[in-house]
Amino acid sequence: MITNKTIFVSGAGGFIGGHLIKKLLENNNTIIGADIKPIELWFQTFDLVKNYDSLDLMDMSNCKKIFNAHKIDYVFNMACNMGGMGFIENNKAECMLSVLINTNLLIVCKDSNVKKYFFSSSACAYNKDLQQETNISGLKESDAYPANPEDGYGWEKLFSERMCRHFYEDFGLETRVARFHNIYGPLGTFGGGREKAPAALCRKVIEANISSSNEIKVWGDGEQTRTFLFIDDCIEGVLRLFNSNFREPINIGSDEQVSINQMIEIIEKISDSSKLKRNYLLEKPKGVRGRSSNNELAIKTLGWEYNIDLESGLKKTYEWIFSQITNNKENAKRFTKT
């Protein structure tokens, strides 16, 4: 475990960043967190963390401000402008601009003699030509090349991966890169336009049951497939990778591939509701037809594999979103802001 270190986490007010900080605090680490969101919209905050809110790390002067004020050992870069498929397909330029965050942080890490740097990449970096069928084999790390990633967001991730590689090769900065496959769980966005499929579908089922409408809207035909990883398993994978000697991009995901329709059925079972009518919105963004994670390299290299199956993780997520919608409407605003 990482102990007694001074650690900077960018994207500290976000979903994965908040869960990561919570784990790092368990081992007597000093945490500095930054996020572009105002503090009242951070998903989690902790008294022991030095927070920099409303701070745009695409501005190099803001990065220097933090690194001049603190002697930082490690950096976890969890910051980017992103959301679900609806957001990334309609905001390609905004997603691409996140490359400035990674570039700025790599530069200040080099100049400040930071010992190790983590970059959160995405399965969107994989070649789209390999993802045209609903049930595909798990994507191996080598399948990112020849390059043809998701337009905008995927290109930003793939380019930033290369930046990490070259900063190690040219300057000796130890870098670690994880390709996340659809991370989900409690304390994440479930409305407002940036939510991903697990949270969005939990919310839709809850709202349909509360309103007795017996109908939900589904983007696409519901046959597109993905794998989804619960947040606790994600954090465990991140820390194992960070503590390893492995420098190449590596999958952090599950191989439990399901269609969107199958996920809805799982959530209906969790909610103890009858089958809802599907209103398929075929004109909405759908992304690639199928995507799955091959975890052989993570198992071999890190000794890591996921422990929480999709139904168990969705149950935890559903129960948390239900509590926010029904019991904590004021607090829920931070999880439904665009």
Sorted by where each begins, the domain ranges of the chain are 6-183+229-252, 184-226+257-291+309-335
What CA–CA distances, in Å, run from 299 to 304, 305, 306?
5, 6, 10
Given the residues 52, 126, 153, 318, select the one marked as catalytic: 153
The pair of structure tokens assigned to 34 is 């930054």
Annotation marks residue 153 as catalytic: yes
The pair of structure tokens assigned to 58 is 């695409």
Q: In angstroms, rounded to a whole number, what is the distance separating the alpha carbons of residues 260 and 255?
A: 15
According to the model, what pLDDT value does residue 331 have? 74
Strand blocks (E) in 36-101 = 50-52, 74-77
Q: In angstroms, rounded to a whole number, what is the distance separating the alpha carbons of residues 327 and 262?
A: 28
Q: Taking the CA atoms of 210, 18, 83 and 338 in sequence, report the sign of the dihedral they define.
A: positive
Question: How many of the other CB atoms lie within 10 Å of CB of 74?
Answer: 21
According to the model, what pLDDT value does residue 338 have? 52
Q: In angstroms, rounded to a whole number, what is the distance separating the alpha carbons of residues 195 and 240?
A: 27
Q: Which CATH superfamily is domain 6-183+229-252 in?
A: NAD(P)-binding Rossmann-like Domain (3.40.50.720)
Query: Does domain 184-226+257-291+309-335 bear CATH number 3.90.25.10?
Result: yes
Q: In angstroms, rounded to a whole number, what is the distance separating the alpha carbons of residues 263 and 201?
A: 8
The residue with tokens 């599907």 is 278
Decide: residue 25, CB within 10 A, 0-12 exposed, 13-18 middle, 19+ buried.
middle
Name the pairing type of β-strands 215-219 and 250-252: unpaired
The pLDDT profile of the chain, 338 residues, written as one tens digit per residue, is: 899 999 999 999 999 999 999 999 999 999 999 999 999 999 999 999 999 999 999 999 999 999 999 999 999 999 998 777 788 888 899 999 999 999 999 999 999 999 999 999 999 999 999 999 998 999 999 999 999 999 999 999 999 999 999 999 999 999 999 999 999 999 999 998 889 999 999 999 999 999 988 899 999 999 999 999 999 999 999 999 999 999 999 999 999 999 999 999 999 999 998 899 999 999 988 889 999 999 999 999 999 999 999 999 999 999 999 999 998 777 777 788 65
pTM above 0.85, yes or no: yes
According to the model, what pLDDT value does residue 199 have? 96
C-beta of residue 7 within 8 angstroms of C-beta of residue 118: no
